[in-house]
Chain A
């Protein structure tokens, strides 16, 4: 596999390969509520796939359908080519790491991990060996005789992961795997989790509401909204090329502006917005005079106290006053008020340590905003 870069790095590009998970037209209703609405999705072998969305978007329901705890109202789910419609959870080639971890409180760490292996009727020596190996992987060798209540949150999280991993499932399902950890531990564990996934080579499907978690972990992300898939793509695609206002706004932050297409040619687009004329240096298939939305990431806007040299065009620039500053340490968020009252968010890295306690740009300063022709993102919905 190492010799075939497409298979290991971007398996979804290989359209001939049988995906590990094939979801076709899957819907799930709870009474009148449609939790999951007609989803088609392929997840490939070796991926670390994230289902990302706010609460109630249907991501957990979709995960539970993969595990077999919920039955789709309609549609089919194939795992490794096998239709899962009539397969109960205990016969599926999947294992799940629960949000609450669901560790058995009456069993030691060791017994918790061995539980799944015992169900497979493996010989005792093999169970012991596997438990030992997985404990080494999650660095919990010294805790194997403890009960879950005697462990810290981070340790429990690792036991839960080990218990699900030790069965070497075709598909590992993780429901908010880092949700219960505090921020520092979460950041550290994100990378650990990605490393472990790389080591074991098992396909991971992670449900999360935390976009940062999704961005650092995933090979691909599916953003969900109200039971539907809003967009599927790599973290970069999702962030830099959002297809809708929802995705642009949900992932990171964005200044979203409504505008009219004034010029549409194969290699550029011009849109007239409240922020002035916006010039995008790549073609987009939009109709002349149609209403569109433009999103510009706050960090893609340059902030300056000196007016930009005006060339042939006045596109991609604006002038405003600093309305508010949010100092985050590494960066600052500036709220810039334009003449017409529009507030634009701009973030700038604090690359220079201020000599005095005051900052270079401060409240009520007149500032000039400029951005690259590639920065603005055109959204159709």
Chain B
């Protein structure tokens, strides 16, 4: 930037065309700042602002009006500004054990799903990295392929597969494995299936990207130094794929915690997840303040792993 400033200074500002040129130059020198500003502006308008609106609503009271919450700032007749912050909603969701249990259950489901995704995704990513160039492209394509159909459609397809009279039960009955249909749809099991199925690619892709960068010579060096394949995996490959594991796990864990569609369609009324609760508060109960408080607490729960992720990223960057 200092270069540009020097240029501007040395440029004789003679006449209007000189001024115009100077202006153009100045915009050019600011171009970098402008480019950087765009994503920040985006975050400000579409993330930070809505967040503050939600935060504001969470501190309001439910009223029967439109919008259905009390105003934060009111002016009395004497022209005095009156700010009302209501913390009842937070007290309510922290004391009523329905919320507490729902949060825990959401965390449990997303943590277990993340682990299952990791256990399935890690060997898959490893296999893809180790396969030949043609097979590698095909397998990666297969991982991304589900995104080409609507997410909702795929969840409905699972309903058809898991239902009491669904494909899986019919098949098992016709094979004589079972006599009565096994209840799968509208259970937690179905929710796990749905989440793992949906989010598996988000685990595989960062792991794949991570493993692809690993130099195979490291494996050879370990073997050369007397390390058996199992030991090499735990001492060399696994530690070096931690960034991929962290990235993949967060990409599964964060959206899975707030998941609404999957528990609603596959879990029915039987599986408590925070996304469904939030929806109920908003639409069925029209209790926007409580719903907002639920959302804020969820956000805090999710910011925690994000911070951990940032920490790992920072540490990895430091080591480079």
Residues of B118-162 contacting chain A, CB below 8 A: none
Q: Contact mask B219-247 → A, CB, 8 Å, 1/0? A: 01111111110010001100110000000
User: Do A115 and B227 touch across chains, with their CB atoms under 8 A apart?
Assistant: yes
Does B16 sit within 8 A of A, measured CB to CB? no
Chain B hits for A105, CB < 8 A = 240, 319
Residue on B nearest A69 in the bound complex, by CB: B220
Asked if A102 and B217 make an inter-chain contact with CB atoms under 8 angstroms apart, the answer reads yes
Q: Is the CB of B226 within 8 A of A102?
A: no
- Would A119 and B320 count as touching, CB distance under 8 A? no
Bound Cα distance from A106 to B221, whole angstroms = 14
User: CB distance A96 to B226 under 8 Å?
Assistant: no
Q: Which residue of chain B has the shortest Cβ distance to A121 in the bound complex? A: B226
**Docked pose: A355 CA to B204 CA in angstroms:** 73
Binding site for A on B (CB under 8 A): 215, 217-218, 220-228, 231, 235-236, 239-240, 319-320
- Cβ of B120 to closest chain A Cβ, rounded Å: 25
Q: Of the candidates B217, B231, B236, B239, which one forms a contact with A100 in the assembled complex, judged by CB atoms under 8 Å apart?
A: B217
| Chain B residues near A69 (CB-CB < 8 A) | 220, 223-224
Distance in angstroms from A343 CB to nearest chain B CB is: 44
Interface centre among A92, A116, A149 (most CB of B within 10 A): A116
Q: Judge if A95 is at the interface, Cβ distance under 8 Å.
A: yes
- On whether the beta carbons of A94 and B227 are closer than 8 Å, the reply is no
Q: Are A104 and B226 in contact (CB under 8 A)?
A: no
Q: Is the interface of B mostly helix, strand, loop or mixed?
A: helix
A167 adjacent to chain B (CB < 8 Å): yes
Q: Among the listed A90, A102, A147, which residue makes an inter-chain contact with B218, where contact means beta carbons less than 8 Å apart?
A: A102
Are A96 and B319 within 8 A (Cβ)? no
- Asked if A120 is an interface residue, CB under 8 A from chain B, the answer is yes
Provide the residues of chain B in CB contact with A100, threshold 8 Å. 215, 217
Question: Are B217 and A98 in contact, CB atoms less than 8 angstroms apart?
Answer: yes
* B contact residues around A103 at 8 Å (CB): 221
- Contact A167–B215 (Cβ < 8 Å): no
Nearest 6 Cβ contacts at the A-B interface: A116-B225, A119-B226, A102-B217, A102-B221, A89-B223, A90-B223
Report the minimum CB–CB distance from B237 to chain A (whole Å).
Answer: 11
- Min CB distance B241 to A, Å, is 10
Which residues of A come within 8 Å of B, CB atoms?
67-69, 88-92, 94-96, 98, 100, 102-106, 115-116, 119-120, 147, 149, 163-164, 167
Chain A residue nearest to B242 (CB atoms) is A106
| Contact of A167 with B225 in the complex, beta carbons under 8 Å | yes
Pick the residue among B215, B218, B224, B236 that contacts A95 (CB under 8 A).
Answer: B224
Are B226 and A116 within 8 A (Cβ)? yes
User: Is the beta-carbon distance between B320 and A96 smaller than 8 angstroms?
Assistant: no
Whether the Cβ atoms of B319 and A119 lie closer than 8 Å is no
Question: In the complex, are the beta carbons of B240 and A90 less than 8 A apart?
Answer: no
- Which one of B218, B227, B239, B240 contacts A119 once the chains associate, using CB atoms below 8 Å? B227
Chain A residues near B222 (CB-CB < 8 A): 104, 115
Q: How far is the CA of A105 from the CA of B222 in the complex (A)?
A: 12
B226–A90 CB distance below 8 A = yes
22 contacts between A and B (CB under 8 A): A67-B220, A89-B220, A90-B224, A90-B228, A94-B224, A98-B220, A100-B215, A102-B215, A102-B218, A102-B220, A103-B221, A104-B221, A105-B240, A105-B319, A115-B225, A116-B226, A119-B225, A119-B226, A119-B231, A149-B320, A164-B224, A164-B225
Looking at the assembled complex, report how far the CB atom of B318 sits from the nearest CB atom of chain A, in whole angstroms: 10
Residue pair A120, B226 in contact (C-beta under 8 Å) = yes
In the docked arrangement, what's the CA distance between A116 and B220, Å? 12
Query: Once the chains bind, are A95 and B225 in contact (CB under 8 Å)?
Result: yes
Give Cα A69–Cα B320 distance, bound, in whole angstroms.
29
**Given that A106-B240, A149-B319, A149-B320 are known contacts, is A89 also in contact with B215, CB under 8 Å in the complex?**
no
Q: Is there contact, CB below 8 Å, between B319 and A147?
A: yes
Q: Known contacts A102-B215, A104-B236; is A96 also within 8 Å of B221 by CB?
A: yes
- Give Cα distance in the complex from A95 to B239, angstroms: 23
Docked-complex contact B217 and A67, CB < 8 angstroms: no
Partner of A90, one of B217, B227, B320: B227
Assuming the contacts A104-B236, A147-B319, asked whether A88 and B217 have C-beta atoms less than 8 A apart, the reply is no
Q: A163–B319 contact, CB under 8 A?
A: no
> In whole angstroms, how far apart are the Cα atoms of A68 and B218 in the complex?
15
Contact check, B231 vs A89: say whether CB atoms are below 8 A apart: no
Chain A nearest CB, measured from B239 CB (Å): 5
With contacts A102-B220, A116-B225 known, what are 12 further pairs, Cβ within 8 A?
A: A89-B220, A89-B224, A90-B224, A90-B227, A91-B226, A96-B224, A98-B217, A98-B221, A104-B222, A106-B240, A119-B226, A167-B225
Query: A147 contacts which chain B residues (CB < 8 A)?
Result: 319
Q: How far is the CA of A96 from the CA of B239 in the complex (A)?
A: 23
CA–CA, A88 and B220, complex, Å? 11
Which chain A residues border B220 with CB–CB below 8 Å? 67, 69, 89, 96, 98, 102
Which residues of chain A are near B221, meaning CB under 8 Å? 96, 98, 102-104, 163
